[in-house]
Structure 1
Amino acid sequence: MKLTLKETAKAVNALNDVSKYENIEITGAEFDSRKVKKGDLFIPLKGARDGHEFLEKARENGAVLSLWSKDVPTPDDFPVLIVEDVLSAFQVLAQYYLQKKKPTVIAITGSNGKTTTKDMTAFVLATTFKTYKTQGNYNNEIGMPYTILSMPEDTEKLVLEMGMDHAGDLHLLSTLATPDIAAITLIGESHLEFFGTREAIAKGKMEIADGLKENGLLIVPSDEPLLKSFLENISQEIATFGWDNSADEYVTVLAEKREETIFQFSFSEKIMEIAVPGKYNARNALVASMIARRLGVSMEDIAQALAAVELTRNRTEWVESSVGAKMLSDVYNANPTAMGLVLDSFSQMETTGKRRVVLGDMLELGEASKVLHESMSEHLDSYNIEKVYLFGKEMKVLFDKIVENFPKGAVVHFDKEDKQALIELLKNDLQKEDLLLLKASNGMGLFEVVEALK
């Protein structure tokens, strides 16, 4: 990134005179003072600590300029841009840089699958274009402007993951990024505690279209009736995806294996594969491919990229335990729709050993938590799953629901405080030929269980 102080000051509507510093050029932006590099603009955000307190550290690490809140005493010996609100100025600067560089912007959201779809989309587009994507889970009002200001100057396609915790979140992100293409992967139950109903979640997800360019494309699932009433108000082009010809484009799964899924798209005779399990991931690949085709990527390049795609860690990731058992780690987030999908796929995976599952609490489900945790019983049976390890207070209702349907001792429950006991039992139970699925919300810390078993 290269921005002069003068254009930066103009972009953020700086309140102070910075003429004496006009020769300064910034080559990056950073809000973590420990990560500041030479030439960076420091963004002192307010969190548990006020970022303004860390100016000296940022300066030591090479910052050449800082945004600065008008309510904080101004340093005498360091150039700052005084603004009404640092976070808003950060976002406005990102918007300015985006409009200056003009990459094609692809925005992706969904209750499940948005990170995987983002990764697949970026990987496929990178076969043909200079592509940059949201790193990790930097998908909120801080992470997205950070992503934009971190993209290389020659970026042609920018793939942005957009997260949502509350109503209005996606409106802000979409109107900031003004995407050319927007996609909704799934309407699930994530953050039901804050939204109350799935209908409200659907409405929140549709905010991704609020900033969609007039000639833009919105991609949505065909099998989600909650979206239909909102789509009536969309003037831009809409394309649907799904499992059958009721969708504009659909995917047919030909084989589900432990470490790959083989499928075919409606728009190509080519047999496709991805090195991750689960038919739901074939749907994610369909969305990525629809975006890529729209932008001119060949089917040959799409197929080769999907076969080699590298996904963000802890999202349907196979790892091996110390005794040789294969573990399917999907511990970054969880909602009932996502947990049901991965359980269904895992239950059919071939193995000469036993299938075991560790399920932790799904958080932020509000008053529906009991019913939704109990509903996982529909995806668990003793014929396909040898043993079920339930972890957390919310999972106690699932224990009570299924314990009589399994042999004695085949369903066990642990409180969150008993993580070490869970680890020890798993170490005792796991055999070399076994398959183990671990799925929970990130807040349950099941990644620690994965690491202990490795």
Structure 2
Amino acid sequence: MKLRLHEVAKVVGAKNDITEFEDVDLSQIEFDSRKITVGDLFLPLKGARDGHDFIEIAFENGALATFSEKVVEGHPYILVDDCLTAFQTLASYYIERSRVDVIAVTGSNGKTTTKDMIAQLLATTYNTYKTQGNYNNEIGLPYTVLHMPDNTEKLVLEMGQDHLGDIKLLSEIARPHIGVVTLVAEAHLEFFGSRDKIAEGKMQITDGIDSDGILIAPADVIINPYLPENQTTIRFGADEDIFITELQEAKESLSFKTNFLEESVFLPITGKYNATNAMVAAYVAKLLMVTDQDIYQAFRNLELTKNRTEWKKAANGADILSDVYNANPTAMKLILETFSSIPKNEGGRKLAVLADMKELGDASIALHESVIESLSPESLDMLFFYGDDIRSLSDLAIEKFPENQVFFFEKSADKDDFEALSEAILDNLEKNDQILLKGSNSMKLANIVASLETN
């Protein structure tokens, strides 16, 4: 972060006379006093603890100055009404000053994977930086901006939403040139009330896109009312502006062609939804003048953020398809479709462990039940259900599947069968089997994956 103290104070509209403090170069900005190093600017945010309580510690660790919402005795400080707002204002200024190209990605599913793909493709040609981990909210996005390397040419930002207006804020901070919406599904339905409201929230990415910018969005009619009138929009899907042909899925890879690349794209990951993510990433790369050959090569060497869909190996030799980071009905149906289409191992079976999908609101039971259409006795040999809202889906599966193929384990305020679930899976999984695990992160299926890998 190549900024000076007086410059920062001017940008955020400091309420104190900053000229009484020396105008020094600031190294970077941190909101965790434990991460402060010599030369940093401290940002005291209010959370479970008030960051102002740690200002003295930040200076002991080497901070040169701090933001503050009150007078700080004995140290350089920038007085503001709200530290978080000042942080966001500074990030927006820094993007404008650095003249970096911003590509913003949002969506109910696939945004992290698409962000990773875009960044990896662009890195073949440009100095590229991207959102690290899940830093995709009102704190994480400006943090990413203010920590990008000085030579960054392309900045790929992930934007998440929990409530209506979240994406609007992030887009107006980042002012992207290219905005991508991957998918509108039922994530966080509890806070939005309807899928239509989710679509409205996701489409607020257009609020910050510059006048000559480009929106890339799915061919989903639910977003049509929110499409900007005077902005270039590229739709993806069958018979749309960009689309997939000749898709071929294998256990640990897939390949496809598109209408804008001459050769087939090969990906060392599975899931036809990832073909869509890759197609969108490739189109962004093409818009930014990355060559076709660089696109093909980058995909062959693809590396994604961990905890997304990935094949692992159980200690007994069984294959694990882990997709335990998050879940909503659309995502669960997609991964079940992929898992069901993969051929069984010789002499092996297919098992699926499905856990509650959170934040679905009043429609939670019905949305869980809708997954029944993706559960077939012809392709799945054994089902384990874990949770509370998923109980009704388990009941439907019991009616649809042969006896002793469906098992339910409770997780409620009164009872938690997690240990029994873990033991049942370990007892039933054989070396030639394939097992899928899918559920919201809070259901802790990742712990079962880890147990399968070691026991």
Normalised TM-score (structure 2): 0.96
Letter in 1 for 2:146: L
* 1:58-94 Cα distance to aligned partner (Å, 9 max, x none): 2233222111013xxx332221111010100010111
Match of 1:134 in 2: 131
Letter in 2 for 1:418: D
Match of 2:64 in 1: 64
**How far apart in 2 are the matches of 1:176 and 1:297?**
26
Whether contact under 8 Å (1:253, 1:282) holds in the other structure is: no
**How far apart in 2 are the matches of 1:394 and 1:83?**
45
1:285 to 251, 254, 278: 278
Question: Which segment drifts farther, 286-295 or 262-271?
Answer: 262-271
Does residue 119 (structure 1) correspond to residue 112 (structure 2)? The answer is no
Q: CA deviation at 1:330?
A: 1.0
Instruction: Give the ranges of 4+ consecutive aligned residues of structure 1 lying more than 3 Å apart after TM superposition.
Output: none
Does residue 423 (structure 1) correspond to residue 422 (structure 2)? The answer is yes
Match of 1:181 in 2: 178
* 1:314-336 Cα distance to aligned partner (Å, 9 max, x none): 11122212212121111111111
Does residue 206 (structure 1) correspond to residue 203 (structure 2)? The answer is yes
**How far apart in 2 are the matches of 1:22 and 1:41?**
14
Q: CA deviation at 1:234?
A: 2.9
Match of 2:372 in 1: 377
Q: CA deviation at 1:351?
A: 2.5
Q: CA deviation at 1:23?
A: 3.3
Whether contact under 8 Å (1:251, 1:265) holds in the other structure is: yes
Match of 2:33 in 1: 33
Secondary structure of 1:403's aligned partner: helix
1:82 to 68, 79, 87: 79
Secondary structure of 2:233's aligned partner: strand
**How far apart in 2 are the matches of 1:358 and 1:42?**
45
Give % identity: 50
Secondary structure of 1:249's aligned partner: coil
Question: Which segment drifts farther, 204-213 or 75-84?
Answer: 75-84
Secondary structure of 1:48's aligned partner: coil
Call closer, same or farther: CA 1:56–1:325 in 2, change over 3 Å.
farther
1:94 to 82, 88, 91: 91
1:354 to 343, 349, 360: 349
Q: CA deviation at 1:409?
A: 2.1
Letter in 2 for 1:107: A
Q: CA deviation at 1:253?
A: 4.3
* 1:344-401 Cα distance to aligned partner (Å, 9 max, x none): 0000112321111111111111111111100111001111011111111011011111
Letter in 1 for 2:45: L
- Unmatched runs of 5 consecutive residues or more in structure 1: none
Match of 1:23 in 2: 23
**How far apart in 2 are the matches of 1:100 and 1:257?**
46
**How far apart in 2 are the matches of 1:427 and 1:330?**
18
Match of 2:444 in 1: 445
1:225-240 matches, within 5 Å, as 225-231=221-227, 233-240=228-235
1:294 to 276, 283, 287: 287
2:316 to 323, 338, 350: 323
Match of 1:168 in 2: 165
2:358 to 356, 359, 363: 363
**How far apart in 2 are the matches of 1:343 and 1:185?**
19
Letter in 1 for 2:250: K
Does residue 216 (structure 1) correspond to residue 209 (structure 2)? The answer is no
**Aligned-CA RMSD value:** 1.2
Call closer, same or farther: CA 1:29–1:253 in 2, change over 3 Å.
farther
Match of 1:402 in 2: 397
Letter in 1 for 2:234: A
Does residue 147 (structure 1) correspond to residue 140 (structure 2)? The answer is no
* 1:288-329 Cα distance to aligned partner (Å, 9 max, x none): 011100000011101111111111111112221221212111
Letter in 2 for 1:409: N
Question: Which segment drifts farther, 280-289 or 191-200?
Answer: 191-200
**How far apart in 2 are the matches of 1:40 and 1:320?**
43
**How far apart in 2 are the matches of 1:39 and 1:19?**
18
Whether contact under 8 Å (1:31, 1:44) holds in the other structure is: yes
Q: CA deviation at 1:173?
A: 0.6
Match of 2:245 in 1: 252
Secondary structure of 1:160's aligned partner: strand
Call closer, same or farther: CA 1:28–1:367 in 2, change over 3 Å.
same
Match of 1:306 in 2: 299
* 1:123-176 Cα distance to aligned partner (Å, 9 max, x none): 000000000000111111011000100101110000000001111111101111
